[in-house]
C-alpha cells in the first residue's frame, strides 16, 4: 500500500515564505510612505487602488492559478486555443441613410478586412415606426439605416451572401420583426434559416433600465423574446436570439460593477422565463450571448470580463441546473466606450479606442467593434471607420497580444480586481432579490435610480477635476481646435423611403397582407408562438409599423412610470 506523503513541511515552508513576504511588504510600505507620493488612487468605479499587489492580496483565493482556458469556470477564456485558434470577429457598427447607401458601406468594410457586419438602425426603426410615419419626421436615416419592410432588408444585403457572413443587429423593441425580415431576406437569396449566423440584440430589460427604445409593456415583450428562444432553437440554431447588453447600462452612467451585476441579472431573468415556458435550459442557453462596454480603466475592464465569465458559468451550472458545458460558456461581443469619446481634440479618441480594444482582447472577447474618432460628432466617415478597423488589425497582427491565452492571468492586481468585482456583483444580486427581482425593480425605478446616481457622481467628479479627461478638463490648448471631416446627412433618404413605401403599398398583394396581419393578431391574443405568423407578414411585405400595430392592438404600448 502506497503511503500518502506528509505535506506539512511544504505547507510550513509556504507559510514561512508568506510571513517573509509580509515583513518585506511592511518594510517597503514604510519606504513608500516616506516618498513623495500622490493621493489615494481609484478605479473609474471609485474603488481604491493600492500602490502594490502581492500574493498576500490573494490569501484565501486561488485566483485563476489552478485554472486553464476552455475549462469551467472559464475565468481564463472559453476556448483552450485562445486567439491562436481563431481571432476575434472584427466588426464595425454601420448604418446610415437608405438601405442602398449602407449596403455600399458594408461592401467597403468587407473589402477592407471586416469579418462580420453590425447593423445600426435609425431611430424610427428602433422604435418600430415606418419611415413615412409622422413620428419619423426629421430622423429618417440620421443615426442609422432606415428599414421599413422586407424590401429594405433585401436591399441592405444585396450582393452579400447571408450564409457567408455573421450579422449583428442592434435593435430591441421591434427586434423580433427585424429578425423575421432578415430570415425572409435570406430565403429570397436561397439561404436556409439553419445556415444563418449572427445576433439580434433583443435585450428589452436593459431598454427599460437605461436606453428607452421600447414598444410594448414588459410582460408581452418578454414573451416575444421567449418565442424567439423557442423558434430559434429549432429553426435557426446558429443564431444568437438575444445579446444581453451591459453596453447601454454603462453608457448611461453605471459603474463597472453595476454593469456586470445588472446585465447578468437580466440574463438570469431571461433564463428563468425560458425555463418557465417549459424549455430545456440546455436547448436555448447556448445561444444566449452578451455585449460589454469597454471603458477607460484598462485593468478594471479586463477583470470585469473575467469575472463575468466565472459568475455566469457558476450560476448556470449550480443555480439553473444546466448540464451542457455550452450552456455554462459566456460568449460576448465588446465595443469600445462611446461615452468616453470627446468632441474636443478628437484625434485623442484614436488612442482611447486602441487601449480599450486591447483591454477587450486581453479580456477574451469573441467579437469587437472599435469606435471611430468622429462618432461623438456625427456618423463616421469612411476614413474614420478605416482607422478604427486598422486599430484592430494592428492589435491582431503586430502586437503579439493574441499569441498567449490570458497573458495577464496570475497578475496579483488583476486577480484581486476579478475577485473583488465578483464579490461586489454578488452583493448587488442580493439587493436585486430584495426588490423582488429585475421586473419589480424596473417597475419601481430602483435600477434607474442607481444608474442615475452613478452618472451624477461621475459628472461631479469631472467638474471638480477629481477625474481628468485629456483635452476637456485638463491639457486644454489655447489653439484653435483641430477639425476633422464629418459625414453629413440630408433629407434625401426620407424622400426616397417615402416614395419606396408608397410604391410597395401599391404593388404588394394587399389581401395577403391583411390576412397575415390578422393571423399575427390572433397569435398574439392567444398563447401560440408568434414567429411563424410574423414571418408570413414579412414575406407578404407588411411594413414594420403595420406589424408593430397588430401586436400593439393586443399588448398595448409601454408608458414609463414617473419615479420620484
Q: Which residues contact 119 (CB under 8 A, 6 or more apart)?
A: 94, 95, 102, 144, 145, 156, 167, 168, 169, 170, 171
CA 475 vs. chain centroid, Å, equals 32
Q: How confident is the model at residue 5 (pLDDT cuts 50, 70, 90)?
A: very low
Residue 271 pLDDT grade (very low, low, confident, very high; cuts 50, 70, 90): very high
CA 440 to chain centre: 23
Residue 493 has pLDDT above 90, yes or no: no
Does residue 166 sit in helix, strand or coil? Answer: strand
Name beta bridge partners: 290. 244, 332
Residue 1: per-residue pLDDT: 41
Q: What is the pLDDT of residues 387-408, one digit of tens each?
A: 999 999 999 999 999 999 999 9
Residue 481: predicted pLDDT: 63
Q: Is-contact 21 432, C-beta < 8 A? A: no
Q: Which helix (H) or strand (E) holds 293?
A: strand 288-294
Tell me what the mean pLDDT of segment 235-249 comes to.
95
Distances (CA, A) of 235 to 31, 164, 205, 210, 272: 66, 18, 25, 32, 22
Instruction: Identify the burial level of 88 via C-beta atoms within 10 angstroms of its C-beta, where 0-12 means exposed, 13-18 middle and 19 or more buried.
Output: buried
**CA-CA distance, 294 to 182, in Å (whole number)?**
29
Asked whether the bond before 108 is cis by omega within 30 degrees of 0, the reply is: no
What's the confidence (pLDDT) of residue 253? Answer: 95
pLDDT tens digits for 497-551? 999 999 999 999 999 999 999 999 999 999 999 999 999 999 999 999 999 999 9
Provide the pLDDT confidence category of residue 421 given band limits of 50, 70 and 90: very high
How does DSSP assign 6-34, residue by residue? P-HHHHHHHHHHHHHHHHHHHHHHHHHHH
Half-sphere exposure of 17 (CA within 13 A, CB side): 9
Q: 109 near 94, Cβ under 8 Å?
A: yes
- What is the C-alpha separation between 328 and 409, in angstroms, rounded? 20
Percentage of the chain exceeding pLDDT 70: 96
pLDDT tens by residue, 139-156:
898 888 999 999 999 999
Residue of 406, 398, 391 lying closest to 361 (CA atoms)? 406
- Write the DSSP symbol of residue 197: E
What integer pLDDT is reported at residue 47 of this predicted model? 85
* Average pLDDT for 74-100: 88
Instruction: State how far Cα 318 lies from the chain centre.
Output: 25
Query: At 526, is the secondary structure helix, strand, or coil?
Result: coil
Mean pLDDT value of segment 18-26? 90
| CATH annotation of 82-463 | 3.20.20.240
> Rounded to the nearest 5°, which phi and psi values hold at 182?
-65, -45
Percent of the chain scoring above 90 in pLDDT: 70
pLDDT score for 482: 61
Distance set, CA 311 to CA 211, 314, 330, 439, 455 (Å)? 25, 5, 9, 21, 25
> What grid cell was written down for 492?
434625401
Nearest to 309 by CA among 405, 437, 444, 422: 422
| Rounded Cα–Cα distance for residues 478 and 480 (Å) | 7
Residues in CB range of 143: below 8 A, 6 or more apart: 96, 120, 122, 123, 379
End-to-end CA gap in the chain: 72
Is residue 185 scored above 60 in pLDDT?
yes
- pLDDT for the residue 471: 85
pLDDT beyond 50 at 3: no
Of 39-53, 120-134, 531-545, which gets the smallest average pLDDT?
Answer: 39-53
**67-75: long-range pairs with CB below 8 Å, 24+:** 67/409, 69/405, 69/406, 72/313, 72/317, 72/325, 72/328, 73/309, 73/310, 73/313, 73/314, 73/328, 74/309, 74/310, 74/313, 74/328, 74/329, 74/330, 75/306, 75/307, 75/309, 75/310, 75/409, 75/418
Domain residue ranges of the chain, discontinuous segments joined by +: 82-463
Closest CA relative to residue 98, chosen from 513, 510, 504, 493? 493
What confidence tier does 422 reach under pLDDT thresholds 50, 70, 90? very high
**pTM higher than 0.75 for the full model?**
yes
Mean pLDDT, rounded, for 327-336: 96
* Model pLDDT for residues 366-392, shown as the tens digit of each residue: 999 999 998 888 778 889 989 999 999
Question: Is the CA virtual torsion 265, 268, 270, 272 positive or negative?
Answer: negative
Amino acid at each position: 500500500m502506497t503511503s500518502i506523503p506528509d505535506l506539512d513541511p511544504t505547507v510550513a515552508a509556504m507559510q514561512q515564505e508568506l510571513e517573509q513576504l509580509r515583513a518585506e511588504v511592511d518594510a517597503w510600505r514604510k519606504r513608500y510612505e516616506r516618498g513623495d507620493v500622490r493621493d489615494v488612487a481609484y478605479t473609474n468605479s471609485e474603488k481604491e487602488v493600492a500602490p502594490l499587489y502581492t500574493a498576500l492580496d490573494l490569501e484565501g483565493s486561488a485566483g485563476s492559478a489552478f485554472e486553464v482556458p476552455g475549462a469551467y469556470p472559464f475565468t481564463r477564456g472559453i476556448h483552450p486555443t485562445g486567439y491562436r485558434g481563431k481571432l476575434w470577429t472584427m466588426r464595425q457598427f454601420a448604418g446610415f441613410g437608405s438601405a442602398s447607401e449602407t449596403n455600399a458601406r458594408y461592401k467597403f468594410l468587407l473589402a477592407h478586412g471586416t469579418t462580420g457586419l453590425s447593423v445600426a438602425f435609425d431611430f424610427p426603426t428602433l422604435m418600430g415606426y415606418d419611415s413615412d410615419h409622422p413620428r419619423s419626421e426629421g430622423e429618417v436615416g440620421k443615426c442609422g439605416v432606415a428599414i421599413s419592410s422586407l424590401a429594405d432588408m433585401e436591399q441592405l444585403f444585396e450582393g452579400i451572401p447571408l450564409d457567408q457572413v455573421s450579422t449583428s443587429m442592434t435593435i430591441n423593441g421591434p427586434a423580433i420583426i427585424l429578425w423575421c425580415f432578415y430570415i425572409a431576406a435570406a430565403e429570397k437569396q436561397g439561404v436556409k434559416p439553419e445556415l444563418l449566423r449572427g445576433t439580434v440584440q433583443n435585450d428589452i430589460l436593459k431598454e427599460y433600465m437605461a436606453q428607452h427604445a421600447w414598444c410594448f409593456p414588459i410582460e408581452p415583450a418578454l414573451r416575444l423574446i421567449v418565442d424567439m428562444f423557442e423558434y430559434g432553437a429549432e429553426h435557426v440554431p446558429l443564431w444568437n436570439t438575444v445579446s444581453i447588453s451591459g453596453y447601454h447600462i454603462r453608457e448611461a452612467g453605471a459603474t463597472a460593477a453595476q454593469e456586470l451585476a445588472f446585465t447578468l441579472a437580466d440574463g438570469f431573468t431571461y433564463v428563468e422565463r425560458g425555463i418557465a415556458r417549459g424549455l430545456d435550459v440546455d436547448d436555448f442557453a447556448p445561444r444566449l450571448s452578451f455585449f460589454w462596454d469597454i471603458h477607460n480603466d484598462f485593468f478594471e475592464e479586463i477583470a470585469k470580463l473575467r469575472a463575468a465569465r466565472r459568475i455566469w458559468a457558476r450560476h448556470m451550472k449550480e443555480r439553473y441546473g444546466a448540464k451542457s458545458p455550452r450552456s455554462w460558456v459566456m460568449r460576448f461581443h465588446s465595443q469600445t466606450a462611446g461615452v468616453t469619446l470627446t468632441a474636443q481634440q478628437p484625434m485623442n479618441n484614436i488612442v482611447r479606442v486602441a487601449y480599450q480594444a486591447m483591454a477587450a482582447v486581453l479580456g477574451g472577447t469573441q467579437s469587437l467593434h472599435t469606435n471611430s474618432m468622429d462618432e461623438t460628432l456625427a456618423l463616421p466617415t469612411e476614413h474614420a471607420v478605416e482607422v478604427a478597423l486598422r486599430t484592430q488589425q494592428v492589435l491582431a497582427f503586430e502586437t503579439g497580444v493574441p499569441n498567449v491565452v490570458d497573458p495577464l492571468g496570475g497578475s496579483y492586481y488583476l486577480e484581486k480586481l476579478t475577485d473583488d468585482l465578483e464579490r461586489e456583483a454578488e452583493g448587488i444580486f442580493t439587493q436585486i432579490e430584495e426588490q423582488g427581482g429585475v421586473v419589480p425593480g424596473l417597475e419601481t425605478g430602483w435600477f434607474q435610480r442607481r444608474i442615475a446616481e452613478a452618472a451624477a457622481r461621475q459628472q461631479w467628479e469631472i467638474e471638480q477635476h477629481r477625474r481628468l479627461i485629456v483635452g476637456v478638463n485638463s491639457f486644454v490648448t489655447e489653439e484653435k481646435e483641430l477639425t476633422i471631416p464629418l459625414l453629413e446627412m440630408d433629407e434625401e433618404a426620407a424622400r426616397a423611403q417615402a416614395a419606396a413605401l408608397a410604391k410597395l403599398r401599391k404593388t404588394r398583394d394587399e389581401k395577403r397582407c391583411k390576412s397575415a396581419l390578422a393571423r399575427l393578431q390572433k397569435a398574439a391574443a392567444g398563447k401560440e408562438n408568434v414567429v411563424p405568423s410574423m414571418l408570413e407578414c414579412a414575406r407578404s411585405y407588411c411594413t414594420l409599423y403595420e406589424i408593430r400595430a397588430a401586436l400593439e392592438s393586443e399588448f398595448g404600448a409601454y408608458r414609463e412610470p414617473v419615479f420620484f
